[in-house]
Amino acid sequence: MSENEAVVTAPRVSVVVPTYNEAANLPHVFALLPEDLHEVIVVDGRSTDGTIETAKALRPDVKIVLQNRRGKGNAMACGFAAVTGDVIVMLDADGSAHPGEIERYVAALTAGAHFAKGSRFIAGGGSTDITRLRKVGNWGLNLVANVLFGTRYTDLCYGYNAFWTQCLQVLELDPSGESRDEKRWGDGFEIETLINTRIAKSKLTITEVPSFEHPRIHGESNLNTFRDGFRVLTALVVERLRKPVRVPVRIPVQAVHATRHGVVPVVAPVVDIAAVEQTLRNAPAPVPAADVLTPAEQVPVVIDLTDARRHASTR
């Protein structure tokens, strides 16, 4: 076997999907997922509309994690801790982010980036959902971030991002603790800001990827323009004062060679949504709640960064 044949291996892609009452949206989102994903992790915030049962009916291999606090940030932290793949993709469940774009993000990472940052405001991107007020607010917060952190971000507050799993070492997100109805710092919509700034402070390589944002298909967003905008601004100040984590983050060599040799994820073809929904209606009875893994069962209580750094150095 030649050297090139030995290293041609596509990265294992893990998609983390935070949900809260998204049962009506999941058939549309899951139907468009790439075919060869390593795993799909749904992190649920105790939905009451059958979101978990819908996810299992649509995709029997889905991994379910129950978040232990409230907020999107806590959901992402719990989901990240359950990842077993090489690449993590952050994907909203409301249909606003098209799963067919995952290939772009993976291509950016295998081309040498540590972090692939989605942007609606570069060539090839766009939005039919963002309001003028949110656009102005995002522009202002983006400007502040670039001044404070020396970055060149064009879309600070967009949540469609991807990164190598080893980057979790520098993110230092905390999924530990017993299940409680509370929200701690970092548990809200400021999660994207924490990730963006901590990646930048750790001097990792960032590539922006064009992305198009669609309107939410069903339901209403939990985003509050002023409340969450203030949390983002606060996060920028807090992170500017916070000491960065500097550890070696190694990109798997075999994944980089895979792209150079033409091995890329296969995007799923267009799927008949009506057929998917009919399959859901004919699906077997929901899985008992006992089969759903809680953070205490699946998420490590303590993230030992010493062990993580030792593991990274051996990759």
pLDDT for res 230: 75
pLDDT for res 292: 43
pLDDT for res 224: 54
Residues 24, 224: Cα–Cα separation, whole Å: 22
The DSSP bridge pattern shows strands 39-44 and 87-90 to be unpaired
Six token digits for residue 165? 């799993």
Let me know: does 311 contact 187? Beta carbons within 8 Å. Answer: no
- Residue 4's CB: how many other CB atoms inside 10 A? 10
> Strand, coil or helix: what is 17?
strand
pLDDT for res 135: 79
Six token digits for residue 278? 């009919």
pLDDT for res 15: 98
pLDDT for res 129: 74
pLDDT for res 130: 75
Residues 150, 115: Cα–Cα separation, whole Å: 16
> Strand, coil or helix: what is 252?
coil
* Residue in this structure with the two tokens 């980089």, named with its chain if needed: 256
pLDDT for res 237: 86
pTM for the whole structure:
0.76
Q: What is the mean pLDDT of each run of 10 residues along the chain (315 residues)?
A: 51 96 96 95 95 97 94 93 97 94 96 94 87 79 89 91 95 84 77 92 94 85 63 84 79 55 36 47 43 43 36 42
- Candidates 167, 172, 168, 173; CA nearest to 73 is 173
What is the Cα 238 distance to its own chain's centre?
A: 22
**Phi and psi torsions of 36, nearest 5°:** -110, 35
pLDDT for res 246: 74
Residues 298, 283: Cα–Cα separation, whole Å: 26
pLDDT for res 226: 62
Per-position DSSP letters for 190-225, written without gaps between them? THHHHHHHHHHHTT--EEEEE-EEPPPSSS-----H
pLDDT for res 251: 77
> Strand, coil or helix: what is 19?
strand
- Candidates 42, 81, 82, 68; CA nearest to 187 is 68
Six token digits for residue 275? 């057929």
The packing angle between helices 225-241 and 132-149, to 10°, is 0
